[in-house]
A and B are shown apart, each in its own frame.
Chain A
């Protein structure tokens, strides 16, 4: 941190070590030996960002290169922001304390739509021009972004010099090498961007013209200056060859997830129709049990962490999961390390797996049925049966777990009141199971039903679907609460205005840049935090630009509509999505990729079939 300016202020803010740096594992380099400096900006506060696995991977990967230096930057909480503005302290990177406006790259990771105003706020705090067009011809700093939301980055297109599509382990370094070469010959920003646009996976939004129909839908996306018509995401072909860190920066304060994470696979075979992650991270690729074991041990030894988590979209889908667990347990038991397995599917939850998970906190297990009836689960392609759910709960109870969390969504396509009541019925069956005398379970039961509002996302079969309107969702929430009888069942719901904003930004177009800018200008930031989110400011921003949230969120999109992300290729074919959408409306499920290939198109980049 810039000691002289920041230190006197630290005792006036909450959790000052968010802003100091100095953690074990942080990488400090001599800036005179560095060719390219990268400020990795996580658009939320330290406590959130330091849990993010992607940042840990790219930080370590970049720093392995002797001539590159990657440093970390997070959003300031409101108390620190106020002080920074008052004392004219520019946003700085934690490692060096240098203001990020002096860096070559300012890179954001787009993880969540409600973090978008934080991006603008951080650029402003850094004294970097927010609009790309105002950055002039000087080469640096370049403002770039990667991450899942980059599959539709249009609402932020006017703020970024370029986007990185897909997996960053190779393309990030390629980009920095091209940059370095061009910096040495004195290239300008636009010269560099033209060259960058030729790198596979790099999208330079300023080289594309958006045209709209009178009804507001996209008419065309026109590339300029030889930029490719379609930009395809980057995929790491072999999970066993790709870089994985051996060391981590260890935060002092407790982040949301305080543990070692080993990524065990990418992609997902299940094809749940609402799930963007399951599609945009395809094709499915596993890491070998041996690699997972070595990486897990190495990270635990180097960091001293006592919890190891296996990270993926659906951990039990790894073909060698039992072998991996057995192998890891030979190490973790003696080393007093807790093994945690989030993302376990209900249908593969077995006693043998449960016995191997040794998390000390036997607080609870989470299952995600997502819908209350088999019919609706078939519509969304969440292929789990009630029997499987109850069986898994039984195994959990027998294993000593007395808290069960069930995740559902409200507002799914074709949803009826019956489906909502089905949620309550299912929870009640879980309660009855617990108290069934023949089960001999002890303890106090707590069943939590957590309902989110369905948000249609790009690159899913439901990208054509409307989000249910606010009053409809409120009505559904009411039906659910009234249908729940038992005191053992707790119902929690998601804030509808936030869900609406997620839906707007997820499938938004470039005209939303002006809305996001005005929302930020009027004071919006840290929108993912309840205490900061102010929907009325967003509404004002929309009205100012004659745009309507309902146009983006609540409208049915035809199969022919040109989507704002039309020019971005995540390997999933439009034809496949349409076919899946049609099947959804017939309540016809699609089997998992392992059982039967449904031809989504993801295997194109592998040059072979996935299995």
Chain B
């Protein structure tokens, strides 16, 4: 297909990765999706050249152990397919825990991604909320990050934007906005590790769920 044709038949599929599926890595997800697309009967496009493979692009990897309700993958189809048919066909063959929400034509590109919003659910403990508030009130939070230059101390506080904190009997829910994408990212686990060090006790994470992906000016990645 020529350049213009390729763009015409590009589709972005939004899907959820939850339940048992949170225990598979990004690479595993990639393989799983290739097979699912093949089973679905969708007319997927294969790359040309020496090693033809089913074209699937994931703009942002999700760490093993995290759920998400906003993952996307881009694929190309060799024919135009009605939008609502795409998630239907995929859901018919997806394993439990994967759910295709919708398909659309891609607007933004992977390199436009700047942030992601996460919902962190921590198991309640005595003083958990107070400890977190004290932790986050610090002007600086230093963590060790392994870079090409070796291990560096980085202040992650400026990267963390608290959207909301709520508490129930059994859990503390943190709605956070963190950098994500090619221009720099902060994995929520780094934050929870730093919090654990701060309180000097084990913290039990019930769940981490990515809930939205953003571009500049907090425009939703679509």
**A interface residues with partner B (beta carbon < 8 Å):** 8, 10-11, 16-17, 20-24, 250, 252-254, 258, 301-306, 336, 360
Contacts and interface: CB of A to CB of B under 8 A. Distances in A.
A414 B65 CA distance: 57
Contacts of A302: 39
Given A17-B23, A250-B32, 16 more contacts: A16-B23, A16-B64, A17-B20, A20-B20, A22-B20, A22-B96, A24-B93, A24-B95, A250-B35, A253-B28, A254-B27, A258-B31, A303-B35, A304-B37, A306-B34, A360-B52
Given A17-B24, A253-B28, A11 B35 contact: no
A301 B95 CA distance: 16
Contact of B35 (A17, A305, A360): A305
Contact of A306 (B19, B38, B65, B204): B38
B23 A10 contact: yes
Interface string B167-198: 00000000000000000000000000000000
A316 to B, nearest CB: 26
Given A17-B24, A22-B97, A336 B52 contact: yes
B117 to A, nearest CB: 21
Contact of B95 (A8, A10, A16, A23): A23
Contacts of A254: 27-28, 31
B17 to A, nearest CB: 12
Contacts of A17: 20, 23-24, 28
A304 B28 contact: no
Contact of B23 (A20, A258, A304): A20
A327 to B, nearest CB: 21
A304 B92 CA distance: 13
Contacts of B32: 250, 252
Interface string B125-145: 000000000000000000000
Nearest to B28: A252
B97 to A, nearest CB: 7
A336 B20 contact: no
B51 interface: yes
Q: Which 6 A-B pairs have the closest CB atoms?
A: A304-B35, A304-B38, A304-B39, A22-B20, A16-B23, A252-B24
Interface in B1-41: 19-21, 23-25, 27-28, 31-32, 34-39
Interface string B200-211: 000011000000
Interface of B: 19-21, 23-25, 27-28, 31-32, 34-39, 46, 51-54, 64-65, 93, 95-97, 204-205
A219 B19 CA distance: 59
Nearest to B51: A360
Q: Which of the listed residues B20, B93, B96, B204 has the most CB atoms from chain A within 10 Å of its own CB? A: B20
A513 B123 CA distance: 48
B72 to A, nearest CB: 20
Nearest to A19: B23
A305 B31 CA distance: 9
A302 B93 CA distance: 10
A222 to B, nearest CB: 52
Nearest to B52: A336
Contacts, number: 64
Nearest to B46: A336
A11 B65 contact: yes
A250 to B, nearest CB: 6
Contacts of A22: 19-21, 95-97
9 contacts: A10-B23, A11-B205, A20-B20, A20-B23, A22-B95, A24-B95, A252-B23, A252-B24, A305-B38
Q: Which of the listed residues B27, B52, B95 has the most CB atoms from chain A within 10 Å of its own CB? A: B95
A518 to B, nearest CB: 36
Nearest to B50: A360
Contacts of B52: 336, 360
A10 B22 CA distance: 10
Nearest to B20: A22
Contacts of A250: 32, 35
A400 to B, nearest CB: 11
A10 B25 CA distance: 13
A22 B97 CA distance: 9
A336 B27 CA distance: 20
Contacts of B38: 304-306
Contacts of B64: 16
B188 to A, nearest CB: 13
B24 to A, nearest CB: 4
A253 B24 contact: yes
Nearest to B38: A304
Contacts of A252: 23-24, 28, 32, 95
B93 A304 contact: yes
Nearest to A360: B51
Given A16-B23, A254-B28, A336-B52, A304 B65 contact: no
Given A16-B23, A17-B24, A23-B95, A303 B51 contact: no
B31 to A, nearest CB: 7
A301 B31 CA distance: 16
A252 B36 CA distance: 12
A279 to B, nearest CB: 37
A258 B27 CA distance: 14
A20 B23 CA distance: 8
B57 to A, nearest CB: 17
B209 to A, nearest CB: 14
B192 to A, nearest CB: 12
Contacts of B27: 254
B210 to A, nearest CB: 16
